[in-house]
Amino acid sequence: MTDIEEPLDSALGWVADHTRRYVESDGEDGHEWMGVPTLILTTRGRRSGQLRRNALIYGVDGDTHVIVASRGGHPNHPLWYLNLVADPKVHVQVGADRFDAIAHTASTEEKARLWPMMAEIWPAYDDYQAKTDREIPVIVLERTT
């Protein structure tokens, strides 16, 4: 991903505001949100080719970062998830640390281990899963740079 191209932020105003504050402050304002850690995920739009940026809750599993494509229990996957399925090369910012990563959807075995960790960080994930028929994906971000 290139630093020259300016990414588009979430269409949700509060998410876009959070994301901009996070990026502009190197994570000083926004890394912690409602008592939980957040990162900035940049994906490439699968249709537009435009870089897109979202703030997401994360967990850490060894050397990887873990995120959940919950969309609050909505019946459809979040667009950022569809983008990273189409192109798993992503850019991540955790606090002031910026790096490229490869994203993959957790296998059944990985998810069985990672879901409880993520639900401990954000207990509403269990509620989101209960209110949708969609299997909510857990995504592993493996640093490449």
**Which of 37, 29, 88, 83 has its CA nearest to residue 58?**
37
**pTM of the predicted protein model:** 0.92
Render pLDDT for 50-81 as a digit per residue (tens, 0 to 9): 999 999 999 999 999 999 999 999 999 999 99
Q: Using the structure block, give the residue that is written with the tokens 């995120």.
A: 67
Q: Which residues of 28-61 are buried (b: 16+ CB within 10 A; e: fewer)?
A: eebbeeeeebbbbbbbbbeeeeebbbbbbbbbeb
Mean of pLDDT values over 87-112:
98
Q: Using the structure block, give the residue that is written with the tokens 């992503």.
A: 90
Q: 8-143, which class in CATH?
A: mainly beta
Name the token pair of 18. 């959070």
Please tell me the predicted confidence (pLDDT) of residue 89.
98
Domain-wise residue ranges, the chain: 8-143
